[in-house]
Structures are given as C-alpha cells and as structure tokens.
Amino acid sequence: MREFVIGENDAGQRLDRFIKKAVPRLGSGLYKYIRQKDIKLNGKRAEISQILAVGDHVKMYIPDSYFEEEKKPPEPEYKGLGEVKAVYEDENIIAAYKPAGLVVHEDDGGETDTLIFRIKGYLAEKGEYDPGSEQSFAPALCNRIDRGTEGLVLCAKNAAALREMNRIIRAREIEKTYLCLTVGVPREREGTIRTYLEKDERENTVYVRAEKTPNSRTAVTKYRVVKASGELALVEVSLLTGRTHQIRVHMAYIGCPLLGDGKYDRNAVNRRYGVKSQCLCAYRIGFHIKDKGSPLGYLNGVRIEAPRPGWGRWGE
C-alpha cells in the first residue's frame, strides 16, 4: 500500500490526473483499480473525477512494482546552465527573457540547456522549488516562442498559478506585442493581415492559403511601422491569433520578410547584413483580467516590457 498526502501543488486537480503524474507506471490501469475500490480517497471509495483538496489522503492498494522508478534519462544538472534573466517576478509567476538560440523545452535533438531547466535551477537555488518533495508538479512554461525568437516567456511557479494563467490565455485576457525588423517597408504603415495558414508538419513550414482548407486555420496579425529607413523597417506586431510562425509568414506574405529569417526570406540578404537569426522579439505582455476573484487578478493592468534587443535600437 502507498499513501499520498495532497499538498498545495497537488490540490485543485482531478484524482485521475494526479495519479497519472504521481504513478506514471500505472497508466490506464488506474481506472480498473478505482473500479475495484483499490484506490481510496480519505478512506472512502474514490471517483476518478473528484477534485483533490489540501490534506486529502489517497491510499493505493496496488502492487509495489507500479511505484518503482522508471528508467529514464535524469534531468540535467541545474548547475552550470545559463542564467535566468527575470524581467518580472512575484510569488506566482516569472516573466523570463529568452535569448535567441535557446530552446524553451528539450527537443528531439536532446538539448539539455533549455529555458525551463534554467528556471527550475534558478528556483531551486532560491529554495522555491524542490523536485524531490513534489508529487505531481514542476514549474511550467505558460507560453513558448521559437528557438530563433528572443523575448518574454511566462512561467508558473505553482500549480494554482499554472491553472489560472492557462485560463487567462484561453480567455484572451493577455496581450502579446512583438518587435521585428523587416526587409522592405510595408506599403501601409499600419494595418491588419488576415489569411488562412496551413502547416506542413514534415517540413515544419507554414503556407498561406487563399481559401479555407481542411488543414488551414484563420490567422490575424496587426502591425504598425515604428521606424523606416532605406530597405529596413522596425515594426510593432500584435497577435489576434496564435499560429505557428504567424508573424514570420504574414510579414513575408506582404513582401516584408523578417531580417535573418532563412526559412521565409532570402539568405543572400541575411548574409549581407551578417544576421543569422530572425529579428523577432516577444517584447511586451499586458494583462486584462476580467475576473475580480482571480488569484492572479493583481496582474490586471500590468504591462511587462523586455529590454529592447540590439537590433531593435536600429534607427534611433
């Protein structure tokens, strides 16, 4: 028998979801054991959809083999990873500045130096995260940006903040603003681009479609030219939808691809300027939280701005 006492970061989730994270070896077998009353909540028959509260006791009368640690690659040592530049931080969230070239999560290439590992190490060093004491939670990113894009990424420090931040993002109560440097100056200095975008998963490339297709999705981008000189323009962009490569594809679509973007631009131009990564920065995050009872309601009206990137000072 194994017993779990529900802590702050375990509460607020369904019983089955907690078990899947706490005892991953059990898999779908958890439903059989719940049905057989071998898993009990506070000494009583458990239901898979019950929401856990702090102090609840989950007792599992199942074979010990399910609790054996899985043979999986350990997380990389947090020490020795790059620093975390926290632009904003409180007891619930961090807005960290990701440099271009760093991935947010481990990918198929087996990257060990990632933004999330850096943040875990940063919090562990501060004493705000102890992986050994957590049963079902680890600090988690709430949004992501491409390897070649720099700028702000939000991370939740606890489970309650993660759930609420995910709700805020789904409800579109968060506004994300980007800066980019384009090759070519948009004909209209301010406008909205609305198209259908379709992603080729095999090539990891996105294409604009003139009409709606079964695999395409509507994409809407607002832009404003901040400065222009010669063939270059510094452009502020707001996303009304969040599609893969949306800004890169849309700016290329209107004839103004991002400087440094080898996928949607001509590499000859990038070589001429000596730029190897797309000039795109997740520059500002603003919160417009409508629920007055939200545990993150104190963020309503807050705007977090990243330092302007080196290329973003172009033309000043």
Superfamily covering domain 73-170: Pseudouridine synthase (3.30.2350.10)
Domains 73-170 and 177-282 share a fold: yes
β-bridge partners, 95 = 88, 154
- Fold classified for 2-67: 3.10.290
Q: What is the pLDDT of residue 113?
A: 86
Neighbours of 300 (CB within 10 A): 16
Q: What is the pLDDT of residue 72?
A: 46
Q: What's the pLDDT tens digit per position in 211-228?
A: 899 999 999 999 999 999
Q: What is the pLDDT of residue 71?
A: 46
Express as a percent the part of the chain with pLDDT over 90: 72
Neighbours of 174 (CB within 10 A): 18
Q: What's the pLDDT tens digit per position in 140-170?
A: 999 999 999 999 999 999 999 999 999 999 9
| CATH number for the segment(s) 177-282 | 3.30.2350.10
Q: What's the pLDDT tens digit per position in 30-47?
A: 899 999 999 999 999 999
Q: What is the pLDDT of residue 76?
A: 53
Domain map (residue ranges) of the chain: 2-67, 73-170, 177-282
Q: What's the pLDDT tens digit per position in 296-310?
A: 999 999 999 998 888
The average confidence (pLDDT) of the chain is: 90
Q: What is the pLDDT of residue 110?
A: 65
Cβ neighbourhood burial of 200 (10 Å; 0-12, 13-18, 19+): exposed
Q: What is the pLDDT of residue 275?
A: 86
Alpha-carbon distances of 11 from 5, 57, 136, 143, 158, rounded to whole Å: 10, 11, 10, 23, 11
Q: What is the pLDDT of residue 316?
A: 52
Nearest to 234 by CA among 194, 185, 176: 185
Model confidence, pTM: 0.85
Picking from 3-12, 103-112, 184-193, which range would have the lowest pLDDT averaged per residue?
Answer: 103-112
